Amino acid sequence: MVETIKVPADVNYLNKWAGFELPRGIVNKGITGCGATTLAIEDEHKSIICSPRINLIKNKCQQHKGTLAVYGDVRNGDIEDYLRNNPKSKLLATYDSVPRLNGLIKDKLDWRVVVDEYQYLLIDSSFKSETELRLLKTLKEFPYVTYLSATPIADKYMRQVDWFMDLPYTILEWSNVEQRFVKRVQSKNPINNAIEIVRNYQKGIYPFILVNGEKIESKECVIFLNSVTNIVNIIRQAGLQKEDVNIVVASTLENEQLVKKLGLDYGIGVIPLKGEPHKKFTFCTSTAFAGCDFYSTCASTFVISDNKKACTSIDIATELAQIAGRQRLECNPFRNTTTFIYNVDVGESKDDSYKATLEKKLQDSKEYAQLNNSLTGKNREFAIKEIQTCQKLNKYSEHYVCYNEATNCFFVNNMAYLNECFSYDVQKENYLDGIKVRKQLEDSGFHVSGNEVHSDYEEQLECIIRKESFADRMKRYCEYRRNKEACMFVLVDGVMEHQCEDLRLYYDSLGYERIKALGYKELNLKNEMMNKRETYHLYKEFRAIFPVGTKMQTDMIKLKMEEVYAKYGIRQKGVASHLEKRFGIRIKPAKIPLADGSRKGGYEFV
Query: What confidence tens digit (pLDDT) does each residue in 10-55 have?
Result: 888 899 999 999 999 999 888 877 889 999 999 999 999 998 878 7
AA identity, residue 152: P
Q: What angle do CA 495, 179, 301 make, to 5 degrees?
A: 45
Give 485's pLDDT tier (boundaries 50, 70, 90): very low
Q: How far apart are alpha carbons 40 and 31 in whole angstroms?
A: 17
The pLDDT of residue 60 is above 70: yes
The pLDDT of residue 491 is above 60: no
Q: What is the pTM of this model?
A: 0.68
According to the model, what pLDDT value does residue 451 have? 43
Q: Provide the angle, in degrees to the nearest 10, between the axes of the packed helices 125-139 and 414-427.
A: 130
Q: How far apart are alpha carbons 180 and 444 in whole angstroms?
A: 10
pLDDT digits (tens, 9 = 90+) for 511-524: 888 899 999 999 99
The pLDDT of residue 445 is above 70: no
Give 555's pLDDT tier (boundaries 50, 70, 90): very high
The pLDDT of residue 419 is above 60: yes
pLDDT digits (tens, 9 = 90+) for 569-601: 777 889 998 888 778 788 999 999 888 888 999
Q: How far apart are alpha carbons 142 and 144 in whole angstroms?
A: 6
pLDDT digits (tens, 9 = 90+) for 93-149: 988 899 999 999 988 999 999 998 887 787 776 666 677 778 888 999 999 999 988
pLDDT digits (tens, 9 = 90+) for 358-414: 899 999 999 999 999 999 999 999 999 998 888 777 778 789 998 988 889 999 988
Decide: 52 and 120 in contact? Cβ < 8 Å.
yes
Q: How far apart are alpha carbons 304 and 354 in whole angstroms?
A: 25
Strand ranges inside 349-425, DSSP E: 401-404, 409-412
CB atoms within 10 A of CB 75: 8
List residues bridging with 209 in a β-sheet: 216
Q: CB within 8 A of 564, min separation 6: which ones?
A: 538, 541, 542, 545
- Of 228-232, 275-279, 431-435, 540-544, where does mean pLDDT reach its minimum? 431-435
Radius of gyration over every alpha carbon of the chain, rounded to an integer in angstroms: 30
pLDDT digits (tens, 9 = 90+) for 66-87: 999 998 888 999 999 999 999 9
According to the model, what pLDDT value does residue 452 have? 38
- Of 36-45, 164-173, 464-473, 534-543, where does mean pLDDT reach its minimum? 534-543
Most trustworthy range by pLDDT among 174-178, 180-184, 333-337, 345-349: 333-337
According to the model, what pLDDT value does residue 508 have? 82
- Of 3-12, 41-50, 241-250, 454-463, where does mean pLDDT reach its minimum? 454-463
The pLDDT of residue 487 is above 50: no
- Dump the DSSP string for 413-450: -HHHHHHHHHHHHHHIIIII-HHHHHHHHHHTTEEE--
